[in-house]
Chain A
């Protein structure tokens, strides 16, 4: 019989280019946000976080931007590498419980 699969939004970038992954969150009371990277067959790995009293935070090759007005979060990866290929999830939390978004699959073309 015919099977139906779920498809993640996919972002395909050239190696060396910058990547921008976007996420919309739903709860205006959320006060803490995290980006996770999940490689195939593994659990999510913490990348970077940001609190609601900030609008930008930088890590090594990654930057998270938070726009509370429109409830939007983005992850920027500089000089994307093949090892960055994975599914990226944003997560929001208020009162301790993490709520995850659906994820974006990043594919890096060599």
Chain B
């Protein structure tokens, strides 16, 4: 069972570069989420989606964009990377209240 799959696992970006974090789930979940986790902190919600074609901002959306063209995929886009976006990013999905997380993507912006 693949569950929630994130790629890449590790990435180093230069300031101003752009990149996309990929997320896919094979559980046919309607809800998908992107969180970031800074050192020693809990997870903060960046964006979420309640179904294909629908996305909404979370707590910390600035500097990010998302799209949800299919139920399975929920990519997170960083357009102009900044050092403040150095973090661990977790994608998640759910069909109800229990959320299943991916393994995380470690992003460093230098």
Chain A contributes a number of interface residues (CB within 8 A of B) equal to: 24
Task: State whether the Cβ of B43 lies closer than 8 Å to any Cβ in chain A.
Answer: yes
Least CB distance, B48 to chain A, in whole angstroms: 7
Knowing A96-B50, A97-B58, the reply to whether A89 touches B39 (Cβ < 8 A) is no
List, in ascending order, chain A residues with CB within 8 A of B101's CB.
Answer: 43-45
The contact size tier of chain B is 20 to 34
Interface residues of A in 33-91 (CB under 8 A from B): 34, 41-46, 49, 89, 91
- Fill in one digit per residue for B53-94: 1 if any A CB lies within 8 Å of its CB, else 0: 000001100000000000000000000000000000010100
Nearest A residue to B103 via CB reads: A43
Tell me the chain B residues, 2-49 only, with Cβ under 8 Å from chain A: 4, 31, 33, 35, 38-45, 48
Which residues in B have their C-beta under 8 angstroms from that of A103?
40-42
